[in-house]
Structure 1
Amino acid sequence: MTITPPATSVFETLESEVRSYCRGWPAVFDRAQGSRVFNEDGHEYLDFFSGAGALNYGHNNPVLKRALLDYLERDGITHSLDMSTTAKRAFLERFQDVVLRPRGMDHKVMFPGPTGTNAVEAALKLARKVKGRESVVSFTNAFHGMSLGALAVTGNSMKRAGAGVPLVHGTPMPFDNYLDGRVPDFLWFERLLEDQGSGLNQPAAVIVETIQGEGGINVARPEWLRGLADLCRRRDMLLIVDDIQMGCGRTGPFFSFEEAGIVPDIVTLSKSIGGYGMPMSLTLFRPELDIWEPGEHNGTFRGHNPAFVTATAALDTYWADGASMEKQTLKRGEQAEAVLREICAEHPRSGARYRGRGLVWGLEFTDPGRASRVCARAFELGLLLETSGPRGEVVKLLPALTITPEELDEGLRTLARSVRETA
């Protein structure tokens, strides 16, 4: 398939240079359904991007769309700040019944604003308020958002540089296997906490992704996460799990930390929690941490009722029966892993390696430019992929959880062809 880039248009003449995804995908997109996206000329693309993880249930999911249209057609409340609405009540009740109670979680639910970085900012602010301390520990190659507090616990140097001011009160520590297994887990971290001469202020909290998406699909082992949770308990630090991209079933279970058998003090959710790709985020925390004063942390768009409607429909459709979505995702993950294993075996000289879990996978190359070339060729062949990692060295796969086995196979075959044709 030959793709003709669109002529210079209002996007180039009026929109800021900050735009990014459109540079790798030079098309004007018009409509989408399930795992398929179409540009304005009718060319079809298979989507292995899923709105950076915001579309776990696919584009224009018909069940969620019907719930949304019914709500809008009856003039349901759209904007409400944090007022009580029937849509919010329905979501909270279903979230409690379907997600929290079955997992033994009694966490309070906060709506901090519509984006993931809003949820992270609320988590950091609350942790500091509870503990009365400023420092928060994060990890190498972490990504937690683009506002100043979230950037302070983000590792990427390019993103941090955009802040324009010092990013303070955040201290990075090595993520799992950052030192290639040569140093015991948390040896450095715990030594700094013990040593009064280390210069590390006692942290209020530790924030971690169980799988670092933007950082290169770096997967933390369950035992490493359990060790971290234990360290936080022993050293009086709150554990914050950023589940913004990896939650809502991306790794199999609803929460990505379930496999490790831990329950964080604070959890952030966004992206697919709204179900339909509409802005929504949650900050969850243990009840004893709920020391907010009314209005102490607020925002105009923290009560997005259409997202409550589609989020509730997603819980009812995909999570109410407990395990079917998790089993399907893990089965699709096995399908993806088998092909990635074959790709790596076919290209040993490229240093190709793969890693992931559920339906998030990364294909890493020694030459960081190779990943970009693979994604560019995949786009020409009708497949949407993005890169991740500190040097853009990883091809990142985020297909919808609702993708069919046939669609997944089609995309994986296109990926394999793209790797061969960029050797």
Structure 2
Amino acid sequence: MTDRVYLHVGAPKSGTTYLQQILEANRGVLADAGVLVVGETHLERVHAAMVVREDPRLDSLPARAAGAWDRLVAEVRGWRGPVAVLSYELLAGASADQVARVLRDLDGIEVHVVITARDLGRSVPSAWQERLKFALTTPLERWRPRPESAGVRAEWGWRTMDPAGVAARWGAELPPARVHVVTVPTTPGDEHELWRRFAAACGIEAPGLRLDLERVNESMGLVSAELLRRVNEKVREPITGNREQALWLRDTLAHGVLAQLGREPIGLTDEQYADAAQRADAAVVALAAAGYDVRGDLEDLRATRPQARTPGEAAEGELLEVAVEAIVRLLLLVRERTHERDAARRASVANPDEPRVVALGKGVVRRITAPRVESRAEDLRARIAQLEEEVARSRELQLRVAELSDVVTELLLPPRSTDGRVTAKALNTYRNQSL
């Protein structure tokens, strides 16, 4: 059973995707260093967090989802190395009672909690964007993050974004030294400084990690975000409910198209900035007073205000230009999927035993999962190369031992020995002459 488990519980939009990419891409190297990356898939961690937070949406998922948390606990307990790391940002919203149940499930293991946190002023437009991906229609200028009292379902509110509240709930039953607050750097510098802070908090020391990975961009620029908000105003059946919205609004339109169209930052209103600044100041005081282990600088949490427009200031011409480009990209996507469908139909004629939907799904899944598969393949190739080097060294050692055995045999055996036995007299002669 592992000695320590580090629960990276958030906050959302604090570099969590970047950190999870590094953990995932380096599974093999980390395992060799005694560090388990908990959860074979991201979806398994999502479902586990839903179990922890008693999310009612579990009722609409396959029965297997309800056992996700128990499977992760079993994985941690079955690990033979000293350290396990479980990272999923929406664990941040768990209540104090839910956190207590998590700690009971991990009884006997030294539990640490890791909270990544960023400039709270920048968190507001990021949270608004995430809500847009699930059909929000409220303009940013009239939007406010939900308060803590909104409960565990307030995934993009102050309950998950304010690190002081997250630390108070997750660290209530832990010594302050086992609550680690990792701040996102605000000054330009080493692009991997956040990883170094996180690794230090988790006690990860593993040489040879691959850090220069292609980063997943899930953020939209100002015009693209406002365009999605207006699309949401027109969206109707059947694109309703979280699963449909996640597939079409988030994955297809926001991540697949709009995130590639512009990088203009999004500004704040005076009221939004004042609220964020007040919360950030209070969080800095609370975290410092609690005596938690801080990696970075709590000043990184102070709210700043970008010199940027708010989405309501986007001109109609700008929106039209992005809308046209989005339509072109969606048209190309439909064309690609149509070709895949036709190829699947031809494959089903050639192999009638394979269902058509399965053949079509293979092409779609292959395109979506290709970067992840390639990352794992590269990790495996590196591990194979390492094992081949070890085998080569082992063969070289075996050859040396064999050569030495031949030399010793020639020295110890009498010249005309027929039974192959080494005599005591021969051993004494060898010792006296060679040692």
Normalising by the residue count of structure 1, what TM-score does the alignment of the two structures yield? 0.24
Normalising by the residue count of structure 2, what TM-score does the alignment of the two structures yield? 0.24
Structure ID, larger Rg: 2
The structure whose residues are more often helix, as a share, is 2
